Homo-oligomer: A and B are copies of this chain.
């Protein structure tokens, strides 16, 4: 993997604290100058101390450092879990000389186990002497749990760079944000503008991703902008943020647990964006659609079934709906034997695109997912054992 340099004014440390047998499992990255921040977090009723602690700090608009811990979610760990998270950010604050309120924490892995605090304390004791020379690729790698590849994305916005890292391949149907995604930029942006651009970028990228309908307790999406590259047009920054988020979203979908294919579902001519997304999500989340895509089984009728699940959308009329796989219409113009053979070929590709026209209006939405394989079951049937 080629190195992915951080934007100007950002540095990162990655290291092995011992949460996994081998490889980096802790990352700390920060802006060497004051910066602005925006963050979106899981709405889970069981969100953990990382989210509870980081949310107000990110939303304040002045966060400038993040510590990420892999293999342990520190969720459902009671009051001790909250004290542990506070201690970790305090140890990082002391080591890097930044006020603790400017330090965020993110953590994913097994739910319900306390942090191994002895290991974390021992590692963080060495942080003041540690080298902060990691690039974005190393940070992305240190964050991984069941991910099989690290995910980074880079865009330019005028003179500034926008660099994103993300992780997460299971327990993924983000509602406010995704598993873990961090975007760093040396563009300058005031907190209100940054919050607005971030919400817009996340809304139709990470929030349109579903690997398995299971919303994580730890979803966190944070952007830090330190202005080292000077002012940037809002439009250019908006485009760059969206492109970085979309790039990471596609990488997350392709690396879904056990996934062999990327599945995208676009709903057009919908009454409004809510309807478009509801129908698209019903299709991308249907285990029967996902298994058919996995097996390249030309069983297009399951898409009709999944659309039908949107029972409260009384304006959806089967006599007006059109369903396509790539360029091939499968409903109402049903494929014959030869058409089914073409459909099987389309479904055997490593990216399957389903397009639906509802003809209830003019809104549209695209969602991102993957197929469902026996490997997903295998990975998750013995995750902790």
Interface residues of A (CB under 8 A from B): 42-47, 73, 75-78, 110-113, 170-171, 175, 212-217, 285-288, 291-292, 294-295, 297-302, 304-311, 313-314, 316-318, 330-332, 334, 344, 372-374, 376-378, 380-385
Contacts and interface: CB of A to CB of B under 8 A. Distances in A.
Contacts of A302: 111, 171, 214
Contacts of A292: 380-381, 383
Nearest to A302: B111
A77 B332 CA distance: 8
Given A383-B297, A385-B344, A309 B44 contact: yes
A217 to B, nearest CB: 5
Contacts of A43: 311
A260 to B, nearest CB: 11
A301 B110 contact: yes
B372 A377 contact: yes
15 contacts: A44-B308, A45-B308, A45-B309, A47-B308, A76-B332, A111-B299, A213-B213, A215-B308, A215-B311, A287-B287, A295-B380, A295-B385, A297-B384, A298-B384, A376-B377
A45 B311 contact: yes
**How many copies of this protein are present in the complex?**
2
B310 A45 contact: yes
Contacts of A110: 299, 301
A278 B143 CA distance: 33
A307 B378 contact: no
A382 B347 CA distance: 12
A212 B292 CA distance: 14
Contact of A308 (B46, B298, B383, B384): B46
B45 A307 contact: yes
B45 A291 contact: no
Contacts of A306: 214
A76 B376 contact: no
Contact of A45 (B45, B318, B374): B318
A76 B215 contact: no
Contacts of A212: 287-288
Contacts of A330: 112
Contacts of A45: 307-311, 313-314, 316-318
B334 A295 contact: no
Contacts of A286: 213-214
